Amino acid sequence: MSAMVKPLPVQEAYEDLLQRSLSRIPCDLGRLLYLASTRDYNTGNYHHDGLADRFSVKVARSALEIAHRQAFYKVAALSLEELVRDLAAYLESSRENPEEFLRTWQRLEPYRIAIPMEVNPTVARLFASNVRLALAVLRLRQSTHADR
Amino acid sequence: MIGVWSALAGALVLLLVLLAWVRAEASSKDSRSDWGAADQEQSEGEGESVEACSPEIVSQLFSAADSKFISGFESPGLENLFRRERTAIALHSVQETSAFISKVMRRHLEASRLRADLEIATEARIFLQYARLKLYCGILFVLIGLLGPHRLAGTALYAERFIQRVGEGLVEFQSAAQLREPEGSESL
């Protein structure tokens, strides 16, 4: 008789989330923003209909929370060069006007909502600062291209 | 005559350190105002559940690769922005570490008051360790304000790691002391 190790429900839900939803998103920043968007702004609770149907609301919430934190730390640990590349990929996948996109991101700083609840404040600052710098780099590149 | 020159040099060094401190404090205040509410919440108790800054993140903060990448654009505006941003975060990181050390020490003192079997030698050793850590944090704070984090890369990383290691040792010691506490004494 072979002993089968049954995965924990949260782990199963997490893997399901990775396979079905996150693998379709082409960049780390996109995955992070997607996961942040599953969080309710008022309560801080995460919700995903499909995942909650397949597992339970509670299990889906935990899986989303774990995935969000992991995605955040991954992006926060990217070097500036990698982040600029990732942000450029996100910009391209959004199919928005690049100039407008960069201007709006610099003004509204929407990436701040991508920070999970209980993370180290230094890491949170580093993340926001790196995105600000990556935006400045992309704008600089854009103006250099426009000048040519 | 040599005495006068030494005194003048000492005063000049002190003045420079003070200026660096004021400059560093101003940079750190700028970034604090931006994150005010979040930081306040962290320092008012919730910070205990927050995990420490990983060495990877600290090394990224002082990374020479990022600095090199930015200087490759040859844009003074971008370089200034980078320097400002990184300095503010590095200063915040040192302040956070310093606050953590103070908190551990405060808790240790509170726990010590409840113990009857205090060892003076051990307490003195802990206090010296604490004073040393606070001094390192102060020096690091001034140096970051003066030179910027990327110029300090190796030193700052070494100091941060050292502070964290000794700080963790202090926490472990405190936990061990708490376990030794006599039954009936209040827990933290």
The ipTM estimated for the assembled molecules is 0.83
C-alpha span between B108 and B129 (Å, rounded): 13
Q: Which residues contact A19 (CB under 8 A, 6 or more apart)?
A: none
The angle that helices A121-147 and B36-43 make with each other, rounded to 10 degrees, is 160
In one-letter notation, the amino acid at residue B93 is: S
| Chain B residues with CB within 8 Å of chain A CB | 31, 35, 38-39, 42, 46, 49-54, 56-57, 60-61, 63, 65-66, 69-70, 73, 75, 78, 81-82, 85-86, 88-89, 92-93, 96
C-alpha span between A72 and B71 (Å, rounded): 26
C-alpha span between B88 and A43 (Å, rounded): 31
Q: How many C-beta atoms lie closer than 10 Å to residue B2's C-beta?
A: 6
In tens, the pLDDT along A19-72 reads 988 999 999 999 999 999 999 989 999 999 999 999 999 999 999 999 999 999
C-alpha span between A83 and A67 (Å, rounded): 19
C-alpha span between A77 and A83 (Å, rounded): 9
Q: Which residue has the tokens 């844009």?
A: B75
Using a CB-CB cut-off of 8 Å, the residues of chain A touching B63 are 79
In tens, the pLDDT along B65-107 reads 898 999 999 999 999 999 999 999 888 888 888 888 888 888 8
Inter-CA distances, A1 with A4, A6, A8, B97, Å: 9, 15, 21, 53
Are A133 and B82 in contact (CB < 8 Å)? Answer: yes
In this structure, of A12-26, B10-24, B124-138, the range with the lowest mean pLDDT score is B10-24
Out of A80, A123, A137, name the one closest to residue B57 (CB).
Answer: A123
CA-nearest of A74, A89, A91, A70 to A127 is: A74
In one-letter notation, the amino acid at residue B145 is: G
